[in-house]
């Protein structure tokens, strides 16, 4: 059943604004490994934030990097460190839009500038990261308390083999000699690789504030030792080669008032991944939820990551699909995903798998880095049923029913656009009781003859928690009517767009 709400014409009457930036406009002494971000007055449409709509220039060239959006914050992450003592200008264009139905944009391009620190003056302070604990083999990290005068501590004392992050902290008031800027202790930290003494790592220690007397360095784990500081290179982060069951010795060399050393031992251990369904049986036309715990797949300790090609769901070798897995938070190493089990309509990647009563669902993941030091297949299974037999009453709160797509609504049935102008249309997917359907894919279909009049972006999108997706309709140069069909499963909604000339052209 198709239900539409008629709106004669979409008119944009408001704008989003930039409420704050980082670094702030006019800032100086900015760290060379910083990210650039802007916070907006409304939630953003992430697909509109790209390197075309968020640009950073400096030193006579455009900076390469990647752009991401989370809520009302857009972030530009440079591919390499910024240049020292250089002024950079960040610009966000009117192509960046809000995620709401209005799809509002900036009233004009927004720009601000900042200047990086001079070489050798300061380095950003690393952030200590908590240890992943939701795992069969995870070992909690003790917290060391350095002495008041001189001390060495690590943010964790057991690290995983790939992509883990450890922050070394040294408290030594005698080494704080700069009264107006943070001090740098060159090659003051040595990390000895006990399994390969030729792969040692040296790091600078950077004071985390003027006159603080506290110095930091960041150690990462990987398959090879890379980076680090030398007599001519300044660096307070690097990667140490990690092997199963190995150790690394972290050594701080003090020179004032006397030469002395402090050491800490870092244990290196693999993690055996775990993969589970959230139930033993699933009803047809419901969602199966999958949880993957694998610390080694958490390669970025500052943000939640996605795995798109790693977890599979199948009923047979001929009926298989992948599942999109999203990390539950930054540095958790735990990923969750879901797939809808349908009785008809076919299997669609990332969205649904067709099954029958009595079928066995099997989920599979390849654990490449683990304690066996070879590929390890992790699986779990569940059965598909038509109905679930009543169970004894328990004190646990029942799981809410899953909404199944039954209706598709368009915020506009007819749309009038002048040539080269655009407007947004919101698609809402619900069940018969108007319960919003989250996680279903809405695809766009335009007749070939109408593609010369209009274009739609994106070509498909997944509904949010409100059961909604937003599409941008753009009129091209040729006038006339065009028909656009929005489809999800067996549901369709049609939009008629009339492209007209502007008043000046008539």
- Tell me the per-residue pLDDT of 445-455, one tens digit each, with 9 for 90 and over: 888 888 888 89
pLDDT of amino acid 341? 93
pLDDT of amino acid 369? 78
Residue in 145, 136, 195 with CA at minimum distance from that of residue 171: 145
Give a yes or no: residue 418 inside a domain.
Answer: yes
Instruction: Give tens-digit pLDDT for 44-59.
Output: 888 888 999 999 998 8
Contacts of range 123-126, beta carbons closer than 8 Å, 24 or more positions apart: 123/31, 123/32, 123/33, 123/182, 123/184, 123/204, 123/206, 123/234, 123/236, 124/31, 124/33, 124/34, 125/206, 125/208, 125/209, 125/216, 126/165, 126/167, 126/216, 126/217, 126/218, 126/236, 126/237
pLDDT of amino acid 319? 93
Whether residues 222 and 291 share a domain: the answer is: no
Whether residues 265 and 280 share a domain: the answer is: no
Percent pLDDT > 90 in the chain is 21
pLDDT exceeds cutoff 50 at 485: yes
pLDDT of amino acid 18? 87
Instruction: Give tens-digit pLDDT for 252-269.
Output: 988 777 777 889 998 887
Q: How confident is the model at residue 389 (pLDDT cuts 50, 70, 90)?
A: low
For the chain, the average pLDDT equals 81
Whether residues 300 and 239 share a domain: the answer is: no
Beta strands in 208-305 (DSSP E): 214-222, 226-227, 237-241, 247-254, 260-269, 274-277, 281-283, 286-293
**14 or 360: which leads in pLDDT:** 360
Residue in 248, 270, 25 with CA at minimum distance from that of residue 162: 270
Residue 337 structural domain: 274-385
Give a yes or no: residue 421 inside a domain.
Answer: yes
pLDDT of amino acid 354? 94
Give a yes or no: residue 125 inside a domain.
Answer: no
Whether residues 312 and 251 share a domain: the answer is: no
Among candidate residues 230, 252, 269, the one where a domain is terminated = 269
Whether residues 293 and 258 share a domain: the answer is: no
Integer Cα distance of 189 and 154 in angstroms: 12
pLDDT exceeds cutoff 90 at 31: no
Q: Which two tokens stand for residue 213?
A: 């007397």
Whether residues 169 and 241 share a domain: the answer is: yes
Assess contact for 453 and 482: CB atoms under 8 A: yes
Integer Cα distance of 45 and 257 in angstroms: 57
Provide the CATH number for the domain around residue 89. Answer: 2.60.40.1220
pLDDT of amino acid 384? 92
Mean pLDDT of 478-491: 86
Q: Quickly tell me which residue has 């040539």 as its tokens.
A: 419
pLDDT of amino acid 379? 93
Length of the chain: 506
Chain-centre distance for alpha carbon 290: 19
Give a yes or no: residue 129 inside a domain.
Answer: no
pLDDT of amino acid 140? 38
Question: For the ranges 106-120, 203-217, 283-297, 392-406, which has the lowest average pLDDT?
Answer: 392-406
Provide the CATH number for the domain around residue 358. Answer: 2.60.40
Mean pLDDT of 31-46: 86
pLDDT of amino acid 335? 92
Whether residues 195 and 296 share a domain: the answer is: no
pLDDT of amino acid 397? 58
- As for how many domains the chain has, the answer is 4
Mean pLDDT of 390-407: 65
């Amino acid at each position: 059943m198709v239900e539409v709400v008629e709106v004669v014409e979409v008119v944009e009457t408001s704008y989003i604004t930039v409420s704050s930036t980082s670094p702030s406009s006019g800032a100086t002494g900015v760290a060379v490994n910083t990210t650039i971000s802007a916070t907006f007055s409304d939630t953003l449409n992430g697909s509109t934030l790209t390197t075309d709509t968020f640009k950073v220039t400096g030193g006579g060239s455009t900076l390469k990097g990647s752009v991401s959006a989370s809520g009302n914050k857009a972030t530009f992450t440079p591919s390499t460190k910024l240049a020292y003592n250089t002024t950079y200008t960040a610009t966000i264009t009117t192509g960046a839009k809000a995620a709401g139905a209005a799809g509002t944009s900036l009233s004009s391009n927004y720009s601000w500038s900042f200047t990086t620190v001079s070489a050798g003056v300061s380095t950003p302070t690393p952030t200590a990261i908590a240890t992943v604990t939701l795992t069969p083999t995870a070992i909690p990290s003790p917290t060391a308390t350095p002495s008041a005068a001189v001390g060495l501590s690590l943010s964790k004392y057991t690290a995983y083999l790939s992509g883990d992050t450890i922050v070394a902290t040294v408290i030594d008031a005698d080494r704080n000699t700069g009264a107006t800027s943070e001090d740098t202790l060159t090659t003051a930290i040595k990390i000895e690789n006990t399994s390969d003494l030729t792969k040692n790592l040296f790091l600078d220690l950077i004071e985390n504030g003027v006159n603080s007397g506290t110095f930091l360095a960041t150690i990462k784990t990987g398959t090879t030792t890379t980076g680090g500081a030398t007599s001519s290179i300044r660096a307070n982060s690097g990667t140490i080669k990690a092997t199963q069951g190995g150790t690394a010795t972290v050594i701080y060399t003090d020179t004032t008032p006397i030469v002395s050393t402090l050491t800490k031992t870092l244990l290196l251990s693999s993690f055996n991944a775990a993969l589970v369904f959230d139930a033993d049986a699933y009803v047809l036309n419901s969602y199966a939820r999958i949880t993957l715990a694998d610390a080694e797949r958490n390669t970025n300790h500052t943000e939640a990551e996605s795995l798109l090609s790693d977890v599979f769901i199948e009923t047979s070798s001929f009926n298989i699909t992948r599942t999109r897995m999203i990390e539950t938070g930054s540095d958790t190493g735990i990923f969750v995903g879901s797939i809808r089990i349908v009785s008809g309509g076919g299997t669609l990647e990332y969205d649904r798998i067709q099954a029958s009563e009595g079928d066995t669902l099997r989920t599979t993941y390849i654990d490449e880095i683990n304690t066996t030091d070879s590929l390890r297949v992790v699986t779990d299974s569940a059965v598909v049923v038509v109905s679930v037999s009543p169970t004894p009453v328990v004190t646990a709160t029942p799981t809410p029913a899953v909404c199944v797509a039954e209706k598709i609504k368009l915020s506009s049935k007819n749309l009038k656009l002048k040539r080269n102008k655009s407007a947004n249309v919101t698609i809402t997917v619900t069940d018969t009781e108007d319960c919003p359907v989250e996680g279903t894919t809405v695809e766009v279909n335009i007749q070939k003859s109408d593609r010369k009049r209009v274009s739609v972006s994106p070509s498909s999108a997944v509904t949010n928690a409100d059961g909604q997706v937003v599409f941008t309709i753009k009129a091209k140069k040729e006038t006339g009517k065009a028909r656009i069909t929005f489809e999800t499963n067996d549901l369709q909604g049609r939009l008629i767009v009339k492209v007209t000339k502007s008043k000046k052209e008539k």
